[in-house]
Amino acid sequence: MNINLALAPLVSLIAGILILVMPRLLNFIVAIYLIVIGLIGLFGTGNFLR
């Protein structure tokens, strides 16, 4: 049995839970998410996101 877990939905779920628990984290989480997506866009995805 193979279980494939995509990274984006998992990150979104964790971020959503953290925002519900501590709403002040919203700016911090969004900033980190945008930086990570920007770095992935600049340097390519590689094989770690598939």
Give me the pLDDT at residue 7, please: 72
Give me the pLDDT at residue 46, please: 57
Domain extent at residue 28: 7-43
Tens-digit pLDDT profile for residues 8-45: 777 778 878 888 888 887 888 888 888 887 787 788 76
Query: For 19, phi and psi rounded to 5 degrees?
Result: -65, -40
The contacts found for 30-33 with CB under 8 angstroms, 24 or more apart, are none
Rounded Cα distance, 18 and 23, in Å: 8
Residue 50 falls inside a structural domain: no
Please state the domain count of the chain.
1
Q: Are 25 and 19 in contact (CB under 8 A)?
A: yes
Q: Are 32 and 40 in contact (CB under 8 A)?
A: no
Residue 1 falls inside a structural domain: no
Q: In the predicted model, is pLDDT for residue 5 greater than 80?
A: no
Residue 2 falls inside a structural domain: no
